[in-house]
Amino acid sequence: MDTVVSRLRSFWKKFGIFFTDGYFWHVQRRFTLRYMRDSGFGRRDNVLEDVIAHNTKEVMNIVINGPQTIEEKVIVRGDLIYLPHFFAVPFINGLLHIITGSTFPRNMYPDLWYLAKQTLLFQRSTNDLGGALIITPWLKSMLPEFSGFKGLSNGNQALLDFFEVIIKDAIETYDEKYDRSFLDIYIRAMKEDMKQNKRSTYSVQQLQLICTDYMFPTATAVEMVLTMLVEQMLMHPEVQEKIHEEIDRVVGRDRAPTLDDRNKMPYTEACIREMMRTETPVTLGVAHRAMVDTKLGGYDIPKNTSVSVNYVSLHMSKDIWGDPESFRPERFIVNGKLQVSSDKSLPFGAGRRLCAGETFARQGMFLVLAMFMQQFKLSTADGKPLKQASKRIQGIITTIPEFWARVTPRY
Ligand code: HEM
């Protein structure tokens, strides 16, 4: 879709993966998926798993051994953790490993928390359809705060700045003799394609937008799903007890959970699935434009019409789920095993525009949650039972306000 929101992200041009289409989108999406795969994206990869596990341990160590800096105290205070940002680092460093071949060490985690904060600001400053700015773009100058323009610009600028520095360094130190990371592979392809093609789809700005597009959900959506699951556990202690029971039975206490345990831990996996069903993260998906005149469900859709999918109606259908309002992970478990075929939810969309990060997100969420729950018991900051879910903030993704939760080491 070509809107003021998509344009303000990308130098008022059409770059990236989310909001491009046609030949440009096809070439650029295929290239990123093909070459990021070499670093473990979209598949099972031991090195990527180690990166996510190592960073999860580092973040948990801030609680176990106490914060060492003022910045760490913004995320951890005694036995209180600040959500969702507490969960951000393993995902962000996982993606940085894929894109840049390196990660930020603990003394630079504050930069990643800042990135997560600004990205969340962007997510909350509009909605799936672009909010008021889409219909009345002039609001951006007259009411920059009210229209969300300021939050969108500031949040987006943080992402652009973050990757501008990284990409500049990669270009300056580029050596065509060997590829250090996905960035080098892209730079080489860009140089070659630009020589051959006057209208190349590759460019430095496009690379910057690829990085921001992949980082955007990595720094917000995955940690928000886990955060909402924490809220569920605070409201329904039996969910937490069942996850603990499963971890103790399958993994024990002498080693950390790994992705090998995912098949053997159907309840934990089902909780993540049920969380994304009951609280659809991207309620109306990403709007796309019809490329040609077409028909959909008996309706004529003229070329250039904006089309959105209402995933909430699917996830809340009484016909499909029977009791859609209940948080009931057991619905996905048959004879003690996760039955993926019984999961008719589509939190990551479907078809050609299927979320490019589904595998990365699902694997990462399982690993971070399992490691976290093995170590800690959760309770509310004030020690009182949580009776009511907090208000939902409908932005591009569904979020809840940041909050502190109490964690007690289990052993
Ligand atoms: C809980 C986590 C996530 C959810 C629920 C989610 C959901 C979605 C949905 C619904 C779409 C739109 C599909 C459509 O256009 O029909 C999408 C697109 C996309 N997602 Fe995700 N996503 C998540 C995490 C991630 C992560 C971690 C990444 C990157 C590492 C990612 C990268 C993308 C990209 C690049 C697209 C655009 C694909 C395209 O238009 O070709 N997502 N996602």
Q: Kindly give the number of the ligand 1 atom that is closest to the alpha carbon of 20.
A: 40
What is the 8-class DSSP label of residue 39? G
ipTM of this predicted complex?
A: 0.99
pLDDT the model gives residue 349: 97
Q: Kindly give the number of the ligand 1 atom that is closest to the alpha carbon of 346.
A: 10
Q: Which residues line ligand 1 (CB under 6 A)?
A: 17-18, 29, 95, 213-214, 217-218, 221-222, 225, 276, 281-282, 285-286, 347-349, 353, 355-357, 360-361
Q: Kindly give the number of the ligand 1 atom that is closest to the alpha carbon of 41.
A: 30
Q: Kindly give the number of the ligand 1 atom that is closest to the alpha carbon of 25.
A: 41
pLDDT the model gives residue 127: 66
Nearest CA to ligand 1 atom 42: 357
Distance CA 183, CA 165 (A): 13
Sign of CA dihedral 274, 52, 155, 13: negative
pLDDT the model gives residue 140: 64
Confirm whether residue 355 is marked as ligand binding. Answer: yes
For residue 348, the CA-to-ligand 1 centroid distance in Å is: 6
pLDDT the model gives residue 116: 96
For residue 216, the CA-to-ligand 1 centroid distance in Å is: 9
Element (H, E) at 50: helix 46-65
Rg (alpha carbons) of the chain, rounded to whole number = 21
Nearest CA to ligand 1 atom 4: 348
Tell me the mean pLDDT per 10 residues along the chain, length 411. 75 89 97 96 97 98 96 97 98 98 97 96 75 64 65 84 97 94 97 93 97 97 98 97 98 97 98 98 93 94 94 97 97 95 95 97 98 98 94 92 97 90
Measuring CA to CA, which residue among 1, 53, 131, 98 is closest to residue 356?
Answer: 98
Distances (CA, A) of 360 to 54, 96, 213, 389: 16, 12, 14, 28
pLDDT the model gives residue 135: 65
For residue 376, the CA-to-ligand 1 centroid distance in Å is: 30
What is the 8-class DSSP label of residue 385? P
312, 348, 355: which to mutate for ligand 1, most atoms within 8 A of CB?
355
Q: Domain ranges in the chain?
A: 4-409
For residue 194, the CA-to-ligand 1 centroid distance in Å is: 29
Q: Is 216 helix (H, G, I), strand (E, B) or coil?
A: helix
Measuring CA to CA, which residue among 268, 265, 283, 284 is closest to residue 226?
Answer: 268
Tokens read off for 88: 């951000």
Distance CA 229, CA 242 (A): 13
Nearest CA to ligand 1 atom 21: 355
Question: Which of left, alpha, beta for 252 (phi over 0: left; psi -120 to 50: alpha)?
Answer: left
Q: Cis ω on the peptide bond leading into residue 324 (within 30° of 0)?
A: no
pLDDT the model gives residue 142: 64
Nearest CA to ligand 1 atom 6: 348
Q: Kindly give the number of the ligand 1 atom that is closest to the alpha carbon of 95.
A: 30
pLDDT the model gives residue 93: 98
Q: Exposed (0-12), middle (13-18) or buried (19+): which is 54, by Cβ within 10 Å?
A: middle
Distance CA 386, CA 409 (A): 20
Distances (CA, A) of 198 to 6, 193, 202, 205: 25, 9, 11, 16
pLDDT the model gives residue 381: 97
pLDDT the model gives residue 205: 97
Tokens read off for 49: 């798993």
For residue 209, the CA-to-ligand 1 centroid distance in Å is: 14
Nearest CA to ligand 1 atom 19: 355
For residue 18, the CA-to-ligand 1 centroid distance in Å is: 8
Distance CA 212, CA 127 (A): 18
For residue 357, the CA-to-ligand 1 centroid distance in Å is: 6
In one-letter notation, the amino acid at residue 347 is P
For residue 304, the CA-to-ligand 1 centroid distance in Å is: 22
**Domain 4-409 grouped into CATH 1.10.630.10:** yes
pLDDT the model gives residue 12: 79
Distance CA 215, CA 223 (A): 12
